[in-house]
Structure 1
Amino acid sequence: MLISQELRRPTILVADDSPQNIELLSRVLGQEYRIKVATSGEKALKIAYSDEPPDLILLDIMMPDLSGLQVCQRIKSNPDRRRIPIIFVTAMTTVEDESLGLAMGAVDYISKPISPPLVQARVRTHLALYDQSRELERMVAQRTAELVATRQQIIRRLGRAAEFKDNETGNHVVRMSHIARLVAQQAGLGPEAVQLVFQTAAMHDLGKIGVPDRILLKPGPLTEDEWVIMRQHAQIGADIIGRHENELLATARAIALTHHEKWDGTGYPQGLKGEQIPMNGRIVAIADVFDALMTRRPYKPPLPAAESLAIMAEQKGKHFDPMLLECFFQQQFEILKVMELYSDDRGAMMDQ
């Protein structure tokens, strides 16, 4: 019980080169708080950067090696430690000294010789404010995570809404999202960029909502007039998503609009060529076509893996970005695992 109570007590770092000052502050605060001490600036930084940083620092300005101002500056420049409240406790008491200390990021300034009740009150106040700040950050982080998760679910389900029209289970959006993720990883995109394409790939065919069922579900080849209508789904999807500054929605729109563009410029709706096509659109084009080859559609039976891969290879530099297609083939075994894991035969899968 005593150990548990000790661990719950806030930790105060007292950094001062005077043993008498350390002893005095430890005696004033030791009944309520755990006390750590440092007699130099280097030692103070070592404690502040440790795995168990203090909850508040009482810092003298005039110390050997590093001054208190230098210690404060270094702590405030460290993103992992800059929120720790620092109170200067010093004999430097001019207005200029106080202004400089506060400008460096200190939350308060106590003059020596200290008043024990004043020190106790200031420490208690700033610890309470720090606790409130940490709790607010925790709540904001939790709420942000919830909003991101909700937004991802909405995107995934909007993608499914379109796929349910011509794909009984809607697993297409799950498979091709994972394929796009694997290609993006192999292409060297960073973790955030990979996650972005994974999250937004599901929206690629949202515009199918606007295509009549007589065309979308037609079991045979489409007429030229029907193709004109079918090709509109890329622009319809982009229009449904709309223009946004939000990166997630902006990426989803770009994918919906460009995933039928082709590397050689013969795609639609804009006839973009090569790197005019956004990277994410080029990645999703590969994932979308391969899944379409491998799975049953109203107009075709599924093709074997070997035949599907051969067709993909034939489109290098034509339909597909040659570099990204090479990334696709480097990940082909993992991609085939995705096809099996999320097969339509397994029924509808939510996958996150």
Structure 2
Amino acid sequence: MKQHVLFVDDDTNVLEAYRRGLRDRRDQWELTLIPCSLLAWDTLQKRSFDTAVFDVRMPGLNGIDLLTRVQQSLTLRDMPVIIVTGEADRSLKRTALNLGAADLLNKPIDREDLLARLNSTLRLKAAQDALRVQNQLLEHRVRERTAQLVASRLDIIWRLAKAAEYRDEETGNHVIRVGCYSRAIARVMGLDAEFVDNMLIVAPLHDIGKIGVPDSVLHKPGRLDHREWRVMRKHCDMGAEILSDECRFKHVARRFGADSQTLAHVLPADDPVLALATSIARGHHEHWNGAGYPHGLQGEEIPLEARIVAIADVYDALRSERPYKQAFSVDRALSILAEENGTHFDPAVYEAFLLAFDEINALESEFNDAAAPLLSSQVHDEDECLVC
């Protein structure tokens, strides 16, 4: 494939000399000869060249001005430029080199000198192009590998959420619905897109701490006594610990050869997704009035993400059939939420829930539990179980 060379000089005799002197290279190079610097600049916006030769003395834009424009252009700055001058002024030559000229030529131009300079700049351009292609390929591979790691990590998060749901003997799509409802509420509240999408990913992990609750408490038929409720309420802090304490795993992974780049993608330091999940796991049973657990936070002391998941979780619990209760009607569930507005729930989040309710109602139908089997052993107190 031919390489493209641009010559710009207001002297048409010089341009003709270029054409005659390089006619034996027509099978390798395509020459473009332009007698006007302004026209040359317009041409550079429309066509790409492998190298260019600018005369320094031209009306309108001189060669230095044209070189400056080229260097300031993100699309043109990689094109090597040779500056031709009849001047003996060293400061002018230094200016050209400082501005990014790849080489200099003095008039009168020697053909062999010109060929040497052109061959040099064309090899430079070819090397730059090859490097750019290689970098693009590497960037594509990195993006592809990163996407695979992220997808794998998200898959693990969802599987972990589902494991926690089965551990609690809940059935169906509860964790999926809580994630979808939380995302819908966050979107209506006008939160940034990354936060909104992350809520879909991490809200399903809200009860992951129940993995650490003993079977004797988690699966006890009948009411829990005071001691057992203290144990049950520890699931919030246990969930936060599960989601935040990965340091020991990193140490072991490195010990057995996991490279730092892979670990950085799989378990990045200060990961905002895990930080969000940790905050939700710890705070989703806190109440707006401070009567919740595990730390009795109130108002805006409770992280916003936890306040959002709180109402999504309770609404889905009210609307879901459990071994110990039938599903409440939509009207009854909404009535209970209204009663808890300002005490259990953040009023702003409650209002966002109502604004998002049409979407939430559609999501409930899409991810319903119609085919899910029921278990029949647990008979916890209704008020306790809806929010435990």
Q: Is the 8 A contact 2:3 2:49 kept in 1?
A: yes
TM-score by length of 2: 0.71
Matched, 1:186 2:149: no
| Structure 1 spans left out of the alignment, 5+ residues | 1-8, 49-53, 76-80, 102-107
SS in 2 for 1:269: coil
Specify the alignment match of 1:5 in structure 2: none
Please list the CA deviations of residues 140-183 of structure 1 after superposition, one character each: whole Å capped at 9, or x if unmatched: 11111111111111111111111112245451111110001100
Specify the alignment match of 1:150 in structure 2: 152
Q: Is the 8 A contact 1:166 1:297 kept in 2?
A: no
Please point out which of 307, 324, 333 is paired with 2:332.
307
Distance in 2, matches of 1:199 and 1:34, equals: 57
Specify the alignment match of 1:6 in structure 2: none
Moved more, 255-264 or 239-248: 239-248
Distance in 2, matches of 1:125 and 1:29, equals: 22
Alpha-carbon shift at residue 213 of structure 1 (Å): 2.3
Distance in 1, matches of 2:135 and 2:305, equals: 38
Q: Is the 8 A contact 1:55 1:127 kept in 2?
A: no
SS in 2 for 1:91: strand
Query: Could you say if the C-alpha distance between residues 17 and 291 of structure 1 is closer, same or farther in structure 2, counting changes exceeding 3 Å?
Result: farther
Q: Is the 8 A contact 1:15 1:39 kept in 2?
A: no
Query: Could you say if the C-alpha distance between residues 190 and 89 of structure 1 is closer, same or farther in structure 2, counting changes exceeding 3 Å?
Result: farther
Specify the alignment match of 1:252 in structure 2: 277
Please list the CA deviations of residues 290-341 of structure 1 after superposition, one character each: whole Å capped at 9, or x if unmatched: 1111112344322111111111122111111111111111111111111111
Distance in 2, matches of 1:117 and 1:223, equals: 88
SS in 1 for 2:344: coil
Query: Could you say if the C-alpha distance between residues 15 and 154 of structure 1 is closer, same or farther in structure 2, counting changes exceeding 3 Å?
Result: farther
Matched, 1:289 2:314: yes
Distance in 2, matches of 1:55 and 1:258, equals: 60
- Aligned partner letter, 2:278: R
Query: Could you say if the C-alpha distance between residues 276 and 123 of structure 1 is closer, same or farther in structure 2, counting changes exceeding 3 Å?
Result: same
Please list the CA deviations of residues 80-111 of structure 1 after superposition, one character each: whole Å capped at 9, or x if unmatched: x69x734333337835533442xxxxxx8243
Specify the alignment match of 2:39 in structure 1: 39
Distance in 2, matches of 1:206 and 1:162, equals: 5
Specify the alignment match of 1:237 in structure 2: 239
Matched, 1:210 2:203: no
Query: Could you say if the C-alpha distance between residues 59 and 189 of structure 1 is closer, same or farther in structure 2, counting changes exceeding 3 Å?
Result: farther
Distance in 2, matches of 1:205 and 1:156, equals: 12
SS in 1 for 2:220: coil
Q: How many aligned residue pairs are there?
A: 321
Q: Is the 8 A contact 1:259 1:281 kept in 2?
A: yes
Query: Could you say if the C-alpha distance between residues 124 and 30 of structure 1 is closer, same or farther in structure 2, counting changes exceeding 3 Å?
Result: farther
Query: Could you say if the C-alpha distance between residues 306 and 122 of structure 1 is closer, same or farther in structure 2, counting changes exceeding 3 Å?
Result: same
Q: Is the 8 A contact 2:71 2:99 kept in 1?
A: no
- Aligned partner letter, 2:165: E
Moved more, 132-141 or 62-71: 62-71
Q: Please tell me whether Structure 1 or Structure 2 has the larger radius of gyration of its CA atoms.
A: 2
Query: Could you say if the C-alpha distance between residues 118 and 178 of structure 1 is closer, same or farther in structure 2, counting changes exceeding 3 Å?
Result: same
Alpha-carbon shift at residue 32 of structure 1 (Å): 7.6
Matched, 1:72 2:71: yes
Matched, 1:163 2:165: yes
Please point out which of 323, 333, 342 is paired with 2:367.
342
Q: Is the 8 A contact 1:60 1:89 kept in 2?
A: yes
TM-score by length of 1: 0.78
- Aligned partner letter, 1:68: L
